[in-house]
Structure 1
Amino acid sequence: MQFSQLHISPSIIRALEHEGYVEPTPIQAQAIPPVLEGRDLLGCAQTGTGKTAAFAVPVIQLLSADRSAAAGKRKIRALVLTPTRELAVQIDESFRTYGRNADLRYLVVYGGVSQKPSEAHLKAGVDVLVATPGRLNDLIGQGLVDLQDLKIFILDEADRMLDMGFIHDVKKIIAKTPEKKQTLLFSATIPPEISKMADSLLVNPVKISVTPDQPTVEAVEQYVYFTDRENKPALLAHLLKNSGIESALVFSRTKHGADKIVRLLHREFIRAESIHGNKSQNARQTALNNFKNRTTRVLVATDIAARGIDIDELSHVFNYDLPEVPETYVHRIGRTARAGLGGTAIAFCDYDEKPLLAAIEKLINKKVTVVEDHPYPMLIHTPRPRQQQGRRKSPDGPPQGGKPKAPAAPPARKSAEPPFEWPNRPQRPGGGPPAFGRRPGRRPARRKNNSYR
């Protein structure tokens, strides 16, 4: 099947062909026709399946066909909500690419940057708004965004919205939209809360499901290196230096860990940058652009920051830390198998991560190939002692990093004699020594002018 068979306008087809797209992906072939018919849609699909074009292409065509909106100030007629800044930028770029021949205005808004430039565009009028929930709620609260003319609402990565705690913000935004509108909801998974939201949002929706997990797994060559945690940096540097890897995306479990990996790679004279939530938007976008144009060889990312990273022909993905959620592993390695392309996924596994590897292999229903011939094999074959409140206990000494505790004092010996009591003296409430010279529980009277009479 080709795009021309999906009743797409010639101007959009020219834009797609300019990007080298001739045949639609499965989700595009299933989603574009019902969206063009004005139907609500529930799509179960992950990033990397061509999902963005599945809603961007028909939305551009529907808005372009409504010429009445071109007169006067442009009103927001299509809204795309997405969880991360990077994904918002990617979606905005896709709309501009596919709609290069359409007379439409696009705008992307997200937190972490000044909203002043966005204010000018909003006042001039836009047709398609791509936004993250937090910044959009701020703009609505300031009266800068009006959604009363909205025709199409797209909620992308709904499960990630739930994971990141944005669902409350999303519901507030939905409450500001007109009841009569076309709604498209996309999610990699459909947990109960997302299913409940879909039931309340969608009217007689078309349901499509494109699950690339197994095809992605089959398309990626997967390897695991068993090594000790302390040797992971050296192993990563060794592979990057000796395996002919031109560019690689490395996943770290934490933001601090991502920065640490970058510092270690710099010591080995390997060009690397990190991208995570503590970075400013400008820094994140610069790092991403440097990686795309090959100025940076290695991009180290956390899972949330990596959402929306769309890089053609990425050959290698490293799981420096194995994820605690098995599905996250599939999402990660899918970065190197975009739209059917192959790639290589390499995982590092220390002794404590073996249960995580077992859970991953159970999910993908196959064993990951073990590479045994490398210079940093696993030497520790026992679980590490758990840390208690940040301090490790030595097997035969005090907690490391602290002073030895003084031996506990022996319990006081009980006397056979009764305790001494003051005879005929008033006692303080609750016990204690006697209150001489005044009644119990009373404070002395304050004297005037600090003088005695």
Structure 2
Amino acid sequence: MSATFASFGLIDALLGAVDTLGYKTPTPVQVQAIPVILAGRDLMAAAQTGTGKTAGFALPLLQRLTMEGPQVASNCVRVLVLVPTRELAEQVYQSFCEYGAHVPLRMAVAYGGVSINPQMMKLRKGLDVLVATPGRLLDLYRQNAVKFTQLQTLVLDEADRMLDLGFSRELNAVFEALPKRRQTLLFSATFSDAIRTMAATLLVDPVSVEVSPRNAAAKTVKQWLVPVDKKRKPELFLHLLKKKRWGQVLVFVKTRKGVEQLVDTLAAKGVSADSIHGDKPQPARLRALERFKAAEVQVLVATDVAARGLDIDDLPQVVNFDLPIVAEDYVHRIGRTGRAGATGEAVSLVCADEVQLLSAIETLIRQTLVRIDVPEFEPDHRVPMTDGRGQVLKKPKKPKKPKFGPGRPAK
């Protein structure tokens, strides 16, 4: 018999919230994670974005907090969820609010880029759940605005991304401040060596859950690439946008400057576009995302910092304007589409000097991306071919001709 949310023993208040949200059957990560978390065990889970992992940890934690009753002291937190970016913090917090709409728990979110004072005020009465980024959490801790004496559970969401973004020092400072006796839940899209090392020091006899093949791209996403010269990428993108009649498109660009340049280019051609990157203040980033979700803009251009915090339903199209420096980010980028069984498409515009990045991606996902040449955009600088193992195939050198007639050595 297949699992249901009721079969986990969830209380009516949570089942009602799940039903309101239209969740019918638990996803594989929820089936495996929820009983483990309810039992108080440590958990190490490999789960990509779009697998339902947030509900996988939020529902059982809300259940346990509710069953224990409100008993949090001033400035204390009972459940701490650490995430890498502001966008993801906001997204996870909103999910907790939706799942916990009918339970009497106090929840809040804390991240940098906005005033710390309202966050400190919310902590004064104590919180059942705090979702936070590492840097802002440490700011609050150093100002004695948050205490961990009552902490029961630490959740590390997208732990690999936190390490990628250079949060190792902040994370270590947080771990030092936390009580040793606690439940720890680690969620990561990939189990790199660094993640396994971190897990070994943090988790006690953890249950390991892996719900998708290691570093696999979603099978529902059609992936292909177009070889093109770097300088012609904007022109090619506009050509594809028009010819393929793309609706909403999420575009990833390597740098913040490149993001704004593309937005300006699109605007000049009458295409509605907005941007998300680290230089934009948080309210502007959230506004850009809301405008995109509401279909007020056709194209949202983002850097990888924003890649994992974007939760967009029914997104059909992702374009890699630039290939990511870190191959794993390719999987996260294209994971924005083809979610929850829907189909999607991921197109990469690849120039000659990105061939090593392409090779790394193909090695990671264990497949060679289909190449489609677009007439009139064939590059002058050819993109070297790669083989099925993601290796760059160098063109064979032509044999040198003898200097003194065919085959004759010099005298």
Is there any run of 5+ residues in structure 2 with no aligned partner, and where? 385-411
Residue 129 of structure 1: CA displacement?
0.4
Aligned to 2:64: 62
- Structure 2 CA distance for aligned equivalents of residues 374 and 219 of structure 1: 27
The alpha carbon displacement at 1:40 in A equals 0.9
Alignment correspondent of 1:356: 357
**Counterpart contact for 2:70–2:105, Cα < 8 Å:** no
State the AA in 2 paired with 1:167: S
Deviation at 1:186, TM superposition (A): 1.3
The residue type paired with residue 351 of structure 2 is D
Quote the offset at 1:374 in angstroms: 3.7
> Relative to 1, partners in 2 of residues 1:231 and 1:68: Cα closer, same or farther, differing over 3 Å?
closer
- 1:213 Cα deviation after fit: 6.1
**Greater Cα offset, 213-222 or 339-348:** 213-222
| Partner Cα distance (1:6, 1:126) in 2 | 25
1:45 aligns to what?
Answer: 47
Q: Tell me the CA shift for residue 320 of structure 1.
A: 0.5
169-178 or 268-277, which deviates more: 169-178
Question: Which deviates further from its counterpart, 257-266 or 221-230?
Answer: 221-230
Deviation at 1:211, TM superposition (A): 2.3
Residue aligning to 2:184: 183
Summarize the Cα distance change of 1:112–1:68 in structure 2 as closer, same or farther, 3 Å threshold.
Answer: closer
Q: Which residue is 2:309 aligned to?
A: 308
Secondary structure at 1:336's aligned position in 2?
Answer: coil
Counterpart of 1:32?
34
Give the match for residue 264 of structure 1. 265
Secondary structure of the structure 2 residue equivalent to 1:286: helix
Deviation at 1:381, TM superposition (A): 3.3
**Counterpart Cα distance in 2 of 1:136 and 1:313:** 33
Aligned residue number for residue 112 of structure 1: 113
Structure 1 residue runs without a partner (length 5+): 384-453
Mapped partners of 1:68, 1:318: distance in 2: 46
Aligned to 2:372: 371
Runs (4 or more) in structure 1 with deviation over 6 Å come to none
Q: TM-score, normalised by structure 2?
A: 0.88
**CA deviation map 1:314-351 (0-9, x unaligned):** 00000111223332222211110223321011111122
Alignment partners' CA distance in 2, 1:306 and 1:159: 13
- The amino acid across from 1:128 in the alignment is V
1:105 shift after superposition: 1.1
Match of 2:329 in 1: 328
Amino acid paired to 1:97: E
**What's the secondary structure of 1:129's corresponding residue?**
strand
Aligned residue number for residue 23 of structure 2: 21
3-state SS in 1 of match to 2:127:
coil
Deviation at 1:206, TM superposition (A): 0.9
Q: Answer whether contact 1:222 1:344 (CA < 8 A) is retained.
A: yes
The 1:204–1:380 alpha-carbon spacing in structure 2 relative to 1, beyond 3 Å, is: closer
**Are positions 1:158 and 2:159 aligned together?**
yes
Residue type at the aligned position of 1:342: T
One-letter amino acid matched to 1:67: G
1:245 equivalent to 2:246? Answer: yes
Q: Report the CA distance shift for 1:162/1:362 in structure 2 as closer, same or farther (over 3 A).
A: closer
> What CA distance in whole angstroms lies between the structure 2 residues aligned with 1:13 and 1:124?
28
Secondary structure of the 1:46 match is coil
Query: For 1:358 and 1:159, how far apart are their aligned partners in 2?
Result: 21
Q: Which residue of 1 aligns with 2:284?
A: 283
In the alignment, residue 35 of structure 1 is paired with which amino acid? I
Structure 1 residue 68 displacement after superposition: 5.2
Query: Paired residue for 1:147?
Result: 148
Query: Is 2:107–2:127's contact at 8 Å kept on the other side of the alignment?
Result: yes
Please, what is the CA RMSD of the aligned residues? 1.9
SS at match of 2:238: helix
Check the 8 A contact 1:49/1:212 in 2, yes or no. Answer: no
Deviation at 1:125, TM superposition (A): 2.6
Deviation at 1:179, TM superposition (A): 1.8
Taking the aligned partners of 1:138 and 1:382, their CA distance within structure 2 comes to 47
1:359, 1:133 → 2: CA distance?
29
Closer, same or farther: CA 229–184 of 1 in aligned 2, 3 Å:
same
Asked whether the equivalents of residues 148 and 176 of structure 1 are also in contact (C-alpha less than 8 Å), the reply is no
| C-alpha contact 1:250 1:318 (8 A) present in aligned 2 | yes
* Larger Rg computed on CA atoms: 1
Seen in structure 2, the aligned counterparts of structure 1 residues 348 and 21 have a Cα distance that, compared at 3 Å, is same
Secondary structure (helix, strand or coil) at the match of 1:340 reads coil
- Measured in 2, the distance between the counterparts of 1:362 and 1:169 equals 31
Tell me what 1:425 maps to.
none
The 3-state SS of whatever aligns with 2:233 is helix
The TM-score normalised by the length of structure 1 is 0.80
8 Å contact kept, 2:75–2:145: no
SS at 2:270 equivalent: coil
- Deviation of 1:163 after TM superposition, in Å, equals 1.6
Cα distance change of structure 1 residues 192 and 370 upon mapping to structure 2, 3 Å threshold? closer
Deviates more, 1:319-328 or 1:22-31: 319-328
Report whether the alignment pairs 1:211 with 2:212.
Answer: yes
Deviation of the 1:212 alpha carbon: 5.2
Q: How many residue pairs get matched?
A: 382
Give the equivalent residue in structure 2 for 1:423.
none
